[in-house]
Amino acid sequence: MDREKLYIQMSEAVVKFEEERVAELAEKSLEMGLDPVETILHALSAGMLIVGDLFEKKEYFVPEILMCAEAMQAGLDILQARIPKGSTGNKGRIVIGTVFGDVHDIGKNIVKLMLEVGGYTVYDLGRDVPLEKFVEEVNRTNADIVAMSAMLTTTMMGMKKVIEMIRESNPRVRVMIGGAPVSAEVVKRFGADGYAKTAGTVLEEAEKLFKRIKQDA
């Protein structure tokens, strides 16, 4: 099997959530001497992009995304074991979490995964994160982007406070927000920089923000 064919088969196996098949092909890629970083990008990440697209088209829903993520993780575990630390996640650093009061983290976890396989280093603060913790983590990690989500109309208000704190302390950092109650109107009112309507558009949105960061620099 040639390299291109393996990439295609592996990304298809991710899309069809064939966990064992993904693992098998990951092993095979190593046997073939392929660079695991390249395999993650061209097979796993490519597969998750298709998944994101199917989600956008409403052919896939959350159960299917979670199954794909699980299949992808099986491949990722095998490939990452062969990668020296620091040679992935070079596209940028992103701090992520659900805001204080909000324990709904399914969406956040999917977004995190999309970003990780998309080549970003993600610092996950988890769920129900105290607002000042976002700023502390940005300072600790020197991150470029803060990504927050909220599922409730009440907890959503916390994102506005974080954005204000970030503007004050780290004006070069960009903020993207998401979650069920978030709309373009909310983004405007809160003064966020970006908005991923669903996990399917998050990579696109992150690319846009990084482009802006580079232009600003």
Partner 1 sequence: MNKLAQYIKELGRTPIIPLAGSVGLQLTRTSMKTSLTDSGRQKEALLALCREVELDAIFTIMDLTVEAEYLGCRLKFPEDEPPAVVEPALSDEEKIDDLFEGKAVGGRMPLFAEVVQGLKASLDMPVCAYVIGPFTLAGQVMDLALAMKATRKKPEMLHHLLSRCSDLIIHYARLLTNAGADLVCILEPSAMMISASKFQEFSSHYCKKIISNNASAMSVLHICGDTNHLISEMETTGAEGLSLDSHVDIQAAYDRLAGETVLIGNVNPVDEITFGTPESVREKSEQLIRAMEGKNFILSTGCDVPQNAPLENIKAMISVKRKN
Give the residues lining the site for partner 1 (CB under 8 A). Answer: 17, 58, 60-64, 66-67, 70, 101-104, 106, 109, 128, 152-156, 180-181, 183, 185-186, 189
Closest to partner 1 by CB, 63 vs 84, is 63
Q: How far is the CB of 59 from partner 1 (least distance, A)?
A: 8
C-alpha span between 7 and 200 (Å, rounded): 21
Question: Residue 154 contacts by C-beta under 8 Å, 6 or more apart in sequence?
Answer: 101
CB of 9 to partner 1, least distance (A): 21
Query: Which contacts qualify for 19-27: CB closer than 8 Å, 24 or more apart?
Result: 19/70, 19/71, 19/74, 20/74, 21/71, 22/71, 22/72, 22/74, 22/75, 23/74, 23/75, 23/78, 25/75, 26/74, 26/75, 26/78, 26/79, 27/78
- Can you tell me the distance from the alpha carbon of 124 to that of 141, in angstroms, rounded to the nearest whole number? 11
Cβ closest to partner 1, residue 19 vs residue 144: 19
CB 50 → partner 1: shortest distance, Å? Answer: 17
Please say which residue, 102 or 144, places its beta carbon nearer to partner 1. Answer: 102
Nearest-approach distance from CB 102 to partner 1, in angstroms? 8
DSSP of 139-208: HHHT-SEEEEE-SSTTTTHHHHHHHHHHHHH-TT-EEEEESTT--HHHHHHHT-SEE-SSGGGHHHHHHH
Q: Which is nearer to partner 1, 65 or 143 (CB)?
A: 65
Report residue 175 as tokens.
């903020």
Give the nearer residue to partner 1 in terms of CB position, either 65 or 78.
Answer: 65
* Residue 37 or 66 having the CB closest to partner 1: 66
Q: How far is the CB of 103 from partner 1 (least distance, A)?
A: 5
- For residue 45, the SS3 value is helix
Write down the least CB distance from residue 87 to partner 1, Å: 30
